[in-house]
Every structure is written in structure tokens, then in C-alpha cells.
Chain A
């Protein structure tokens, strides 16, 4: 996994990207998630937590974070993810993610919404939200 990440890091090369982490509400019993599950959640393919609650996906629209997220977690370009989201919207399937403008807004929302999941820079992590480790 680490090796794979390193390889992907190497590909875009030029951009010194920020480290992206997934955060959930403290009430969420999960502590870790597979990379595949994380991808499925953000592509609206997995819409419920294991207990059955709807997953409230939050997209951090801050360009640097968004690009890193696309690249690191979804393994797509930003444009690809955008098109994907547009298609999803067009098809009307699933619940479209909420869009936040920065880490703070994400943390605020996640802290308040029990079933929410979002992504922020690693250094923005604080006690309001819980880190969801990607395994």
C-alpha cells in the first residue's frame, strides 16, 4: 500500500500535495476503513454505514485538498471526479455529496452530523472529529 502510494505520488511529480485524511463523527463506531470502501463511499456506490444509517458524504471543495483527495483516495483527476459527480447528478441516483469550502467547514459539519464523512488535510485534524484510518 505504501509502495503504491509512493508510486502514485511520483506520477504527478510537480505538485507537493497535502496529506489527506478521512474524518467522521466521534459517535461513529468505526475506526478504520478499507481503501476500496472509502472510494465506494465517495463515488456514491456505498450509501449506508454498516448499521444501516445513510452516509452523509461531504466534499471539501478547497482546490488543493480536493485535488489531493481525487488523486490519493479516488485515484482520479479532479476533472474525472467532477464529471462523475455530474453524471451522478444527471442520473439522479444516490444522494449527492454536500459541498464545503474548507477544512473548518468540513470539521464543523462532521462534528455535528453523526453519519457524516469528509476529508481534510492531516494537519487540520482536531478533537472535534475522529480520524478514520484507511487500511
Chain B
């Protein structure tokens, strides 16, 4: 069915089937009508005139007989003359009949020929004899001849009657035949009409089904599937020149193109759910409209517990230095926030450090549709940072050796001191940075610590070690001392250095306490020395600040864990 490519051809082919059926019915009607017409024409031209003429001859023959009879009985020659006139008519009629029959009907033709000859013979004999006898008185003298003529006439009459009857019967039969033919035609046409109707209906149905309805149904299925988000198969092999098929192919092509340029919702959902960072979408009124699985896992919530909750249900203001309200107001005004360290509150009310980024997104009409929030759990990262600091040997802020290196140096110095029998000292210094200094901002605190480190270094020899132990705790190893006095000198020098003003905004006077332990006299390993120094520091702190104290074995040992120093 390659020809039926466009819908117009398909519809026309349906119509053509119907028209073909109609044409068939019309042709059948015409043929049957022609048959009837032929038969009626023959009836009109031959059978009916033959029958009429037959009847006429019969009448004329009877009249002629009457004239003969009259002429014979009365001897009236006029009667015989009239009989002769009738003969002319009968002869011409018979000839006409013979003529007609010769063109059509063989049986009538031969019958009529015989009849004509018989009649002519009869007439010649009868006319002649009757003429002679009419002029004599006694006809009984010619009884036998008269009887013979009478018998001949009788037979002729019978024949005339017979043939007229036959001709009339033929006409009647022809009419009957035509009636039957017409009835038969009607029946045939009814059957034909039903058959044509059936065939046309079936054919049109089949054609419409195959060419229109099924392809359209397939196309609809294709579109429905696409609408439901199912994958759309390429339409079954069909002729691309076919209009419906090409429509289906175009649609399929469109879905393929769409597939290329867009991602399915499913695909997006997967991305969102499998991303490791927390994703939260807030409405313009700052209620939670969407939350991904990572966020749920982190915060130990079920999705339904979070949806439509206000943002501050999970965002904590702790450590941000601003309120949640102001942060989100900034966001809603169109500002973006990137990598802000802040806290999220879990279901169990535990605070989790996260790096927060947020951006407002807009609808196509330009109104604020919501806020996309990304939060990355940085607890582990923070732990690593601490770890890294301890793993390295220097404090990143002051660039002094850290407690790791100090431990190392301490052990080293201890071994040297044991061998050279020279005195060394370990000083633990606590800088009492008031909380005000710290609160003034990170930068102030950092600057003070850096300045402190500088002053420590200025107070000691180059061979001595200055280390930063904790946030505001420092340690110094002094080697090659002559006696305890040397250590005192250094401590005093440090105290002096710190009396000089710190020209840093917001800083007041710095109070420091120093604990001193000597070795190898006070201990034979680093841990002991550190613990002793801490004990001495605690003592110094007790003095109220800006004091130093030497460790003595009478001092109560502090419970401080050496590792934490």
C-alpha cells in the first residue's frame, strides 16, 4: 500500500470503494434493464404485431368464409367478389407476417409459410369452384368437391386459430417472462446491494483501520507514553513517506531531541538525592520546601518532619555573628552567600559545623521563587585541620615551633644536658589574654600572639627554643645555664619586654605567668619536665599574674595530662 501515503489518498480510497460498489450496482441495474428493454422491443416490434395480424387474419378469414357461403348459397356474385377482396388483405397480412417471422422466429416462420401456401391453394380452389357452382341450381351434384373444400377450410381455420393462439400466447409469455425477469432483477439487485454494502463496509473498515485508525492509535500511544514520562520507542517500521507515519517519526524525533537537550526529572532527582552535600530549598517565606537525602541523613530527620518548617528550625545562629533572619534577608535581596561557616541543628539538638552557600532563584517572570541552600559538613575537615597542625612542627600563626617540635627539642636538650652536666631550663608561659581581646575579633588576638612571639624571641639567645604550645601558652628551652640565676634573668627579661605597650587596637596590658623547671635536676624525661613546669606555672598563676615560679618537689603535682600541654 505504498501509494496510500497521504491522508487525502486514504480518504479518497475509502470513498472510491464506496463509489465502486455503487458503480457495480448501477452497471448491474443497467444490464438487467437492457435485457428487459431488448425483450420488450422484440415484443413491440414482432410478437405483438404478429399476434395482432394473426387475430386480424382470423377475423378476415371468417368474414371471407361468410361471403363464400353467401355467394354459394344465394348465387350472389357480389359476395364472391367481397371474398376475393378479403383474399387480397389476408394475403398481404400473411406475407407481412412471413416477413416479420423470417427475421426472428424460425418455428413461426415455417408454420406461417405452410399456412400461407395452404391458404392460397384453398382460396384458388374455393374461389374458382364456388364461382362455378353459384351459377348452377343444384349444388348437391358436387357434394364431394364441396365437402373437400369445406374440410380444407375447416383445417385452415383450425390452423389460423392455432397460430393466432400461439402468437397471443407468445406475447403473454413474453410479458410474463419480462415480469419474472424484472422480479428476478429486483431480487438480484437487492442481493447485490447487500453484498456491495457488506464488501464496501468491510473493505472501508479494513482500509481505514490499517491506514488511518491503527497508525493514529499508535501515535496516540506514543504521545501518551511520552506524556507519562516513559521512554518512547521508535515507531514500528513504516513508510516514512506515509503522512501519519512521518508524523509519528517526527514526534519520535522531537522526543529524541528533547532527551538530548533536557534531562528527565528522574535524572535530576537522582542527582539531588545522591549528592553528598545537603541541599535545602526554601520558599520566599523561608519555609523548607525541599530537602535532599544527604540533609535528612545529616540532620536525622524524616522528610515530612522538615517540609514546611521555618528555616531557623535547623539553622543555628551560633558562631555566625549575625542572625539567621539577616542572612536570609540578604539572600532574598539577591545576594549570594558562599562558604559561610555556620551551624545546623540536628533532630537531637546537636550542632554541626557546615560550610553554607545560598542563592536566590527566580521564576521566568522574575519573581523570587525561593532560596537554594547548600551545606557541606566540615566536621571532619576541621578535625583534619587540627590534626595537620599537630602533625607539622611549626605553629602557622607565629611560625614558632609547636609542641611537637618542643617535645623533640626538649628530649634532645635533656640528653645533651645529661652528657655535658650543664643546667638547662624549661619555661612554660601563660598569656592571660582577656576575653575582651579575643572578642574584639580574631585579627586582634592573632596580632597579639604574633607580637608576643616576637618579644619572646627577643628575650632569649638564638640557641634557645621558643615554642607555641596551645592557643595562649608558650614554652621556652634555655640551654647551657650556669645556674638557676640565669633562668631568673631570662624570666625577668621576658617580664620586662611585656611591660612595653602593645600598640594594637583594643589590647590592654598583658598579664603573663611563668612556670620554670630546671634539668636534669628536676627530671630525667620530657614528660616529667613538662608536668613540673606546668605545676610551677599553676603556682605562678596563683600569685595573681606577672609572676614566675620555679618548680620544687614540694609543689603539689598538677593532674594535667602531659599530652594536652
- Asked whether B140 lies within 8 Å of A99 as measured between CB atoms, the reply is yes
Q: Report the separation of the CA atoms of residues A99 and B141 in the bound assembly, to the nearest whole angstrom.
A: 10
- Asked whether B154 lies within 8 Å of A93 as measured between CB atoms, the reply is yes
B438 sits at the interface (CB 8 A): no
B139 sits at the interface (CB 8 A): yes
- Asked whether B139 lies within 8 Å of A92 as measured between CB atoms, the reply is no
Q: Give chain B's interface secondary structure class.
A: helix
Stretch at the interface among B142-150, B442-450, B498-506: B142-150
A83 sits at the interface (CB 8 A): yes
Count of residues in B whose CB is under 8 Å from the partner chain: 16
A54 sits at the interface (CB 8 A): no
Q: Which residues of A contact B69 (CB under 8 A)?
A: 87, 90
A89 sits at the interface (CB 8 A): yes
Kindly identify, within residues 68 to 97 of chain A, every residue whose CB is under 8 Å from any CB belonging to chain B.
83, 85-87, 89-93, 96
- Asked whether B143 lies within 8 Å of A87 as measured between CB atoms, the reply is no
Q: Which residues of A contact B148 (CB under 8 A)?
A: 92
- Asked whether A96 lies within 8 Å of B150 as measured between CB atoms, the reply is no
Q: Report the separation of the CA atoms of residues A93 and B149 in the bound assembly, to the nearest whole angstrom.
A: 11
Q: Report the separation of the CA atoms of residues A89 and B139 in the bound assembly, to the nearest whole angstrom.
A: 9
B217 sits at the interface (CB 8 A): no
- Asked whether A92 lies within 8 Å of B150 as measured between CB atoms, the reply is yes
Give the Cβ gap from B143 to chain A, nearest Cβ, in Å: 5
Give the Cβ gap from A61 to chain B, nearest Cβ, in Å: 10
Q: Hey, what's the 0/1 contact readout for B70-85 against A, CB within 8 Å counting as 1?
A: 0011000000000000
Cβ-neighbour of A96 out of B72, B140, B152, B154 (below 8 A): B140
Q: Which residues of B contact A96 (CB under 8 A)?
A: 140, 143, 147
Which A residue's beta carbon lies closest to that of B155? Answer: A92
Cβ-neighbour of A93 out of B72, B139, B150, B152 (below 8 A): B150
Q: Report the separation of the CA atoms of residues A8 and B481 in the bound assembly, to the nearest whole angstrom.
A: 216
Q: Which residues of A contact B153 (CB under 8 A)?
A: 91-92
Q: Which residues of B contact A87 (CB under 8 A)?
A: 69, 73
- Asked whether B151 lies within 8 Å of A83 as measured between CB atoms, the reply is no
- Asked whether A92 lies within 8 Å of B154 as measured between CB atoms, the reply is yes
Q: Hey, what's the 0/1 contact readout for A89-126 against B, CB within 8 Å counting as 1?
A: 11111001001000000000000000000000000000
B68 sits at the interface (CB 8 A): yes
Give the Cβ gap from B158 to chain A, nearest Cβ, in Å: 13
Cβ-neighbour of B73 out of A83, A92, A93, A99 (below 8 A): A83
Which A residue's beta carbon lies closest to that of B71? Answer: A90
Q: Report the separation of the CA atoms of residues A99 and B149 in the bound assembly, to the nearest whole angstrom.
A: 21
Kindly identify, within residues 43 to 60 of chain A, every residue whose CB is under 8 Å from any CB belonging to chain B.
none
Q: A85-B140, A96-B147 are in contact. Are A90 and B73 (CB under 8 A)?
A: yes
- Asked whether A91 lies within 8 Å of B150 as measured between CB atoms, the reply is yes
Q: Which residues of B contact A89 (CB under 8 A)?
A: 139-140, 143, 146-147, 150
Q: Report the separation of the CA atoms of residues A99 and B478 in the bound assembly, to the nearest whole angstrom.
A: 208
Q: Which residues of A contact B154 (CB under 8 A)?
A: 91-93
Which A residue's beta carbon lies closest to that of B147? Answer: A92
Q: Report the separation of the CA atoms of residues A51 and B306 in the bound assembly, to the nearest whole angstrom.
A: 140
Q: Which residues of B contact A83 (CB under 8 A)?
A: 73
- Asked whether B150 lies within 8 Å of A86 as measured between CB atoms, the reply is no
Give the Cβ gap from A99 to chain B, nearest Cβ, in Å: 7
Which A residue's beta carbon lies closest to that of B72? Answer: A90
Q: Which residues of A contact B151 (CB under 8 A)?
A: 92
- Asked whether B73 lies within 8 Å of A86 as measured between CB atoms, the reply is yes
Q: Report the separation of the CA atoms of residues A130 and B68 in the bound assembly, to the nearest whole angstrom.
A: 41
Q: Which residues of B contact A99 (CB under 8 A)?
A: 140
Which B residue's beta carbon lies closest to that of A96? Answer: B143
Q: Which residues of B contact A90 (CB under 8 A)?
A: 68-69, 72-73, 146, 150
Q: Report the separation of the CA atoms of residues A89 and B151 in the bound assembly, to the nearest whole angstrom.
A: 10
Q: Report the separation of the CA atoms of residues A90 and B69 in the bound assembly, to the nearest whole angstrom.
A: 7
Give the Cβ gap from A15 to chain B, nearest Cβ, in Å: 24
23 examples of A-B residue contacts, CB within 8 angstroms = A85-B140, A86-B73, A86-B139, A89-B139, A89-B140, A89-B143, A89-B147, A89-B150, A90-B69, A90-B72, A90-B73, A90-B150, A91-B150, A92-B147, A92-B149, A92-B151, A92-B152, A92-B153, A92-B154, A93-B150, A96-B140, A96-B143, A99-B140
A-side residues, CB < 8 A to B, are 83, 85-87, 89-93, 96, 99
Q: Beyond A86-B72, A92-B149, A96-B143: 20 further Cβ-contacts under 8 Å?
A: A83-B73, A86-B73, A86-B139, A87-B69, A89-B139, A89-B143, A89-B147, A89-B150, A90-B68, A90-B146, A90-B150, A91-B153, A91-B154, A92-B146, A92-B148, A92-B151, A92-B153, A93-B154, A96-B147, A99-B140
Q: Which 3 A-B pairs have the closest CB atoms?
A: A92-B150, A92-B151, A92-B147
